[in-house]
Structure 1
């Protein structure tokens, strides 16, 4: 029966499980997946707040993202320089600590898949996303 489920079912189920799993990984620090996504997004260097909103729009609205950003700033993990956000020294330490736990979870998610199989799954999903985006763009406007 499970093999007959459409890809949308599997994608939605996987997203639900990833949300629960990642929330569980970071819950010990009083964080959620959204907090992690924001920390990870800023870990590479300063990022304008608007870019974070755009990058994570599919996961949360501006109000929820701003609440998580405010929480990270209140912890002393995030600095805001005129709308450009960067990790503080404490934020980098927290990110490194959490990255290890998130990395272990991600390895568990991909357990049993070779690197090539994992890459093929991601490439296939990316192609499907592009196909649906194009199909939606091709639909007549109402």
Structure 2
């Protein structure tokens, strides 16, 4: 039965499990997956708000990002200087506390797949997205 399901079913189910699983990983800090995504994005580099919105667009509306940023700012984990959002010292600490657990979750997701299988899966999904995103039909 499982092999008869179309790719859309598997993608939707995996997204649900990723959402719930990552929410569970960061719940000890009172956070959601969206909080983690903002923390992780800003841990890579400070960001202008439009760039942060663009990075998170597949996952959250700008209004949702507003709420997450407000919560992170209230915790003194994010601040804005000269038009750039950045993690504070405490925000970097929170990111560091969570990074190991998130990495362990990501390893669990790919458990049993070789590096080649994982790369092929991602490449296949990326190709499907490209097929449907503004690519001319053949």
TM range (shorter): over 0.9
Q: Report deviation, 1:45.
A: 1.3
Counterpart residue number, 1:25? 25
Following superposition, which runs of at least 4 residues in structure 1 exceed 4 angstroms of deviation?
Answer: none
Q: Please list the CA deviations of residues 44-81 of structure 1 after superposition, one character each: whole Å capped at 9, or x if unmatched.
A: 11111111111111211111111001111111111112
Partner of 1:65: 65
Mapped pair 1:129 → 2:99:
no
Gap regions ≥5 residues in structure 1: none
User: What secondary structure, in the 3-state scheme, does the structure 1 residue paired with 2:60 have?
Assistant: coil
* Cα separation, 1, equivalents of 2:99 and 2:117: 23
**Alpha-carbon separation, structure 1, partners of 2:114 and 2:91:** 33
Q: Are residue 41 (structure 1) and residue 41 (structure 2) matched?
A: yes
Offset, 1:91: 0.9
Deviation at 1:83, TM superposition (A): 3.3
Please state how far the C-alpha of 1:128 moved relative to its aligned partner: 0.8
Aligned residue number for residue 6 of structure 1: 6
User: For the residues of structure 1 that align with 2:89 and 2:56, how far apart are their CA atoms?
Assistant: 24
Alignment match, 1:99: 99
For the residue of structure 2 that corresponds to 1:134, the secondary structure is coil
Give 2:109's aligned residue. 109
CA RMSD of superposed structures (Å): 1.2
Could you tell which deviates more after superposition, 73-82 or 1-10? 73-82
Q: TM-score, normalised by structure 1?
A: 0.92
Say which SS state the counterpart of residue 44 (structure 2) adopts.
coil
Deviation at 1:82, TM superposition (A): 4.1
